[in-house]
A and B are shown apart, each in its own frame.
Chain A
Amino acid sequence: MHHYHYMQFLSQLKAGQRAIISAIEADESLFHRLSALGFRVGKPLSIMRRASFNGPLHVRLGTTDVILRVKEADRIQINAI
């Protein structure tokens, strides 16, 4: 039997969607910054909005609102809920 595993990234989510972080693949400096802002494996987040012209994403994690570019959001794997 085949088990299909879809890799999904934060950058693919639409405004209003919620997800749980499943992995962060970033170099040390980006990893540090992300984790200091609350991006940790297992943490839920929601996409508040996305800027026009493929601009940054506005993400809410717990009590913190963060904006990040698609390039950085590409480093964060999630499971949509």
Chain B
Amino acid sequence: MKRIALLGMPNTGKSTLFNRISGASARVGNWPGITVDLMSAKILLGGNIVELIDLPGIYDLHGFSEDEQVVRHFITNNPVNLLVVLLNSTQIDRQLSLLLQIKKLGFPIVLALNMADEAKRAGITIDTESLSQTLGLPVIQISAKYGDGLPKALEAATSIINQQSTTTNPQSISLLLQEDHDIEHEMHELIQQHVQIPATLTDDTTDKIDKVLLHKWFGLPLFFVAMFLLFQFIFTVGAPIQDGLAWLLDLIRADLLDPLFANSPKWLSGLMLDGVYNGVATVAAFVPIIILFFLVMSMVEDSGYLSRAAFLMDAIMAKMGLDGRGFVMMLMGFGCNVPAIMGTRIMRSRSMRLLTMLVIPLSLCSARMQVFIFMIAALFSPSYAPLVLFSLYVMSFFTMFLTAVLFQNQYKNTEPFILELPPYRFPTPRQIVLRGWHEVKHFLNRASKFIVFGVVLVWLLTNFPSNVAPASVETYAGQIGVFFAPILDPIGINHELAIALIFGFVAKEIVVGALAVIYGLQGDALMAQMATQIDWVQAMSFMLFTLIYTPCLSTIATIKNESKSAAFMWLSIVWSLGLAWIISFAFYQSARLLGF
């Protein structure tokens, strides 16, 4: 199969172009010589199936950023038939250097000049015909966002692909890459001859918006208001959808699956329904939130506001070894950790990404909130409730800050913080929807098996041996609780609560339900029973532990497949468990010492 790679600088609309050509058929794949995933799609071009690969956006073929290395490794390890180089028409005076670097390597190239509409508004005119003649390759102005000029560009690609049958030789490219040429001079000549750029850009809409959104005093408050509104939007729209989905899944179980397994042995129906089916339901519960999150994120990102957020928050975040974009993800983590961790992909430095991924699971997500509301109602008087909840939020911020500060030297970011500030743009609905769809597909492909396996494992632990009551102290889970008593007693966690914590590994949403099974009681009766068995100091210690230790299997699965490192996943689990224990211990022992 013939292969076309798409190459360009960041913020040139490369992903938009890729999505427009590939539609929903794209998939994520591994390639020889590189460690990150690249999107690729099989497309029909001139009657043949061709593979299209979306390479990361780079500024310079000879640069040293991680993305630049990825692109170099890709083209020196994988033969291609054609490179489609995408440049931003409004910045052609600067971006042409990338094309010339690639041209020197002898690739067959189609040059697509994106954002033809913006260039026109800015008064930039490019004589594509004469530029094409001088360069000796097809030059086509397009708008990836609206699709203008795209058929022409694909036609040019088809004719090149059909003419030549040989691919590039990765080895000779590898040799050529070592020579550096005097590209600057050539670029200067070309711009002088073929491009006219007015001294100042005529379109100043972006400047006007920036005056408000990046204002010295209003900038930050406006940013927080915007984040709050987006957050509210995701979770007020998401909650009813999640409830509806849960209702539907319960209905399927009650009306279809329960009768189906009515005559099966108890272990089989338990395994299939409480194990596998509950696992599937756990995965499904995340789908609406992930879609909504990425709908909002792609709006924020594609509009150009995310880079502005980085500008506003950077002074504070830099002290923690993070950057402003990480802050947006940390905030989103307070809704749900899973999409927030997936969202860290916008950070191009791996070490900073890992540090952010280590911090996000400590944010008090909405699932943990359910546990806290239940425990507070059971063990605290209503007048103390707001104070307790507030202290948990403070603790969440404190552990995030502590983790970032402690690990910032471990994950030292070596990439300079230099970001381009793109003009404000309206993302198209198509872009937004495709993004949400791709992310959900990615999550389902990578995380679902892991989550179902984990749910089945916890079911086994809490239901076997088969001759004892489920979730009782005699089950394997109970025995684990007893085994760990020497380290759980000093933090005030009894055997029953220990079993609830084991359930909590699956998802915090099921902790309250698990307590009901463990105590064999529901609602007010359960609260009353718990109030007789544990005091408020134990309850607080349990809540602190719940806040800090591993949020859920889905978060673990996401950390594993986003970091592509089992070792990092284990570090995240062990660190959060250790920190949870230390903080619960410090709280429990000092409260007891003070006589509570």
Contact = CB atoms under 8 A, between A and B. Distances in A.
Interface of A: 28-30, 32-38, 40, 48-49, 51-56, 58, 62-69, 71-72
Given A52-B220, A53-B315, A54-B315, A66 B63 contact: no
Contact of A58 (B63, B90, B214, B423): B214
27 contacts: A28-B64, A29-B64, A32-B62, A32-B63, A33-B59, A33-B63, A33-B418, A36-B94, A36-B97, A37-B59, A49-B210, A51-B214, A51-B315, A56-B310, A62-B94, A62-B197, A63-B93, A64-B91, A66-B418, A66-B419, A66-B421, A67-B314, A68-B419, A69-B314, A69-B416, A71-B416, A72-B418
A55 B314 contact: yes
Contacts of A66: 418-421
Contacts of B417: 56, 67-69, 71-72
Contacts of B422: 65
Contact of B420 (A32, A48, A62, A65): A65
For the complex of A and B, 9 pairs with smallest distance between CB atoms: A36-B59, A55-B315, A29-B64, A53-B315, A65-B421, A36-B60, A32-B63, A68-B418, A69-B417
Contacts, number: 107
Interface in B284-300: none
Interface string B52-90: 000000011011110000000000000000000000001
Nearest to A69: B417
A51 B312 contact: yes
Contacts of B65: 29, 33
Contacts of B185: none
Contact of B418 (A37, A40, A48, A55): A37
B416 A30 contact: yes
Nearest to A34: B418
B311 interface: yes
A21 to B, nearest CB: 14
A53 B420 contact: no
A63 B200 CA distance: 8
**Residue with the highest number of chain B CB atoms closer than 10 Å, among A37, A58, A71:** A37
Interface string B557-568: 000000000000
Contacts of A38: 94
Contacts of B420: 37, 64-66
A48 B93 CA distance: 21
A36 B62 CA distance: 10
A58 to B, nearest CB: 6
Q: In the complex, which range does the number of interface residues on chain B fall in?
A: 35 or more
A41 B65 CA distance: 22
B416 A68 contact: yes
Contact of B93 (A62, A65, A67): A62
Interface in B159-215: 184, 197, 201, 210, 214
B63 A52 contact: no
A41 B64 CA distance: 21
A75 B552 CA distance: 45
B307 interface: yes
B421 A67 contact: yes
Given A36-B63, A69-B416, 19 more contacts: A29-B63, A32-B64, A36-B98, A48-B210, A49-B214, A49-B216, A51-B311, A51-B315, A52-B219, A55-B311, A55-B312, A55-B315, A58-B421, A63-B90, A63-B122, A66-B418, A67-B310, A68-B419, A69-B417
A30 B416 CA distance: 7
Contacts of A72: 416-418
A52 B315 contact: yes
Contacts of B314: 51, 55-56, 67, 69
Contacts of A33: 59-60, 63, 65, 416, 418
A63 B94 contact: yes
Interface string B111-145: 00000000000100000000000000000000000
A64 B212 CA distance: 20
B62 to A, nearest CB: 6
A63 B197 contact: yes
Contacts of A49: 210, 214, 216
Nearest to A73: B418
A73 B93 CA distance: 23
A11 B115 CA distance: 32
A68 B324 CA distance: 12
A67 B419 contact: yes
Nearest to A39: B418
A63 B64 contact: no
Nearest to A63: B91
A64 B318 CA distance: 24
Contacts of A68: 416-419
Nearest to A75: B416
B94 A69 contact: no
A62 to B, nearest CB: 6
Contacts of A62: 93-94, 197
Contacts of B418: 33-34, 37, 66-69, 72
A78 to B, nearest CB: 16
Contacts of B201: 63
A34 to B, nearest CB: 7
Given A36-B60, A36-B63, A55-B311, A64 B210 contact: no
B518 to A, nearest CB: 49
A54 B316 CA distance: 9
A17 B197 CA distance: 23
A63 B59 CA distance: 15
**Residue with the highest number of chain B CB atoms closer than 10 Å, among A29, A36, A51, A62:** A36
